[in-house]
Amino acid sequence: MIALICGAVAAGILWTAGAKADREIAAHRHQVTATTAGPSKDPPGAARYGTKPQAVAPAVWEQPDHVPRSGNIHVPPATPQGRTVTVWVNDAGVPVRPPGSAADRALTSLSGGTAAAGAVGVTGAAVVFLVRRGTDGHRLAAWEREWEQVEPVWSGRGSGAGDDDD
């Protein structure tokens, strides 16, 4: 139960921190429309497993303050010259990744909360194991001491065995 509470608290903290970071990043990133100035070219390794295929094309766009910019941007494969593409740029007009989404933040929060709950659960189980091992050791040592006193009488080897013949 404690592990679940710790996991929920960790997930909440991660969500809040992620939301704040995303807001700060989003304040300095802007969506602009770029126009490709040439056909796209597939970069080496563009068809890797598990990635969204992307190509690179030269393009032109305007910064949010209407200053013209140009450079290479990521576009879908086989994008022709003259196609408009939405890109994210920073305050200097340089293409950047889009700000984080709520889905990304949810996945990060869930992963972090699960990791925290797992860490607390494993730590708790280790503490219980060590405490039980210690108490079992003391209990078995006490049993051994008592057995050393009782065993000679019980088995007939000790003093007083067979003394009832008088």
Instruction: Specify the number of domains making up the chain.
Output: 2
pTM of the predicted model, to two decimals? 0.59
Whether residue 37 sits in one domain with residue 22: no
Mean pLDDT of 111-132: 94
Provide CB contacts within 8 A for 79, sequence distance 6+.
36, 39, 40, 55, 57, 85
Residue 108 domain-assigned (yes or no): yes
Q: Is residue 163 part of a domain?
A: no
Q: Both 117 and 133 in a single domain? A: yes
DSSP 163: G
Is the domain of 72 the same as that of 57? yes
pLDDT of residue 66: 82
- Which one, of 26, 7, 9, lies nearest residue 101 by Cα? 26
Q: What is the CA radius of gyration of the chain?
A: 35
Least confident residue range of 16-20, 51-55, 116-120: 51-55
- Out of 64, 90, 116, a domain closes at 90
Residue 156 included in any domain: no
Q: For residue range 57-98, list pLDDT tens digits in order.
A: 999 998 877 889 998 998 888 888 999 999 999 888 889 888
Residue 65 lies in a domain: yes
Q: How far is CA 121 from CA 96, 134, 135, 162, in A?
A: 40, 20, 21, 58
H helices of 36-101, in order, are none
Its domain, for residue 70, covers 29-90
